[in-house]
Amino acid sequence: MSARQVTIPDQPLVVGSVASLNHLACLQPIELPEQCDLLEVRLDAMVGHEEALMIELDRFKNFPLLFTARAVSEGGLVALSAEERSELLLSVADRATWIDVELASYDSMRDAIHEIRLKEVGLILSYHNFEETPEEYSLQRTVELAEEADIVKLAVMHREVDDFARCTRVLRRNDHPMSLMGMGPLGAVSRLLYAQHGSLLNYGYLGDTPTAPGQWPAKMLKQAIAALEPIVRV
């Protein structure tokens, strides 16, 4: 169970991701609501620039912030130990609305996660697979292992049309709040499909560079999702 109650989104939101301090510095807070609903800051891309980062974050104190310090094994940009990633997340805990930690790192980062959650910060436990979309039973098992999370996030490589059906079934079967996305050449289509089926956090990029294969520009994704008709579960 969660250490406290977190407000879970009741409709699909767009997360705008930035993976460099330069891109963060170029963002204008007044323009963000048109581009995304949450701002994701990739702390693994900003190691060594913590002082400058804190100055930049002061500009976004009135906007919901999501922080992650990604492990290299799941797409991180700098090799950091679990302890180093815990320290990075703790350093921004007072500014965070959400943190995202890989499910595989949960045990090694448990103490830091608990401390941050006591500050009423939501927890996303995530799984990334840059090679394939696992079998349906494997995806379901991942969701079950991440029951501690406020939102479970699955990001998997899509290589064939069957991957859409597999992930859609997992998304629709589970009542646990989820974020689900495909990556690769078929990834862009998946971002809309899964938002329509209830994926709560849908990631696009801010600036010039995607932070994962298959991402949309955040503003375009937000406009596209706003035009969707939700699919009602039966």
Which residues form the catalytic set?
Answer: 128, 153
- Strand ordering across the sheet containing 201-205: 178-183, 151-157, 122-129, 98-102, 65-68, 38-42, 13-18, 201-205, 216-217
Q: Which of 177, 182, 112 is nearest to 150 (CA)?
A: 177
* Token pair of 137 as six digits: 């039973």
Chain centroid to Cα 166, Å, comes to 20
- The number of C-alpha atoms within 13 Å of 61 and in the hemisphere containing its C-beta is 5
Which residues touch 80 (CB under 8 Å, ≥6 apart)?
A: 44, 47, 69, 71, 72, 88
- H-type helices in the chain, by residue range? 21-26, 32-35, 50-57, 82-91, 110-117, 136-145, 162-173, 187-196, 218-226
Q: How far is CA 198 from CA 134, 159, 191, 229, 233, in A?
A: 20, 22, 11, 11, 9
Distances in Å between the Cα of 70 and the Cα atoms of 7, 9, 82, 84, 176 are 24, 23, 10, 11, 23
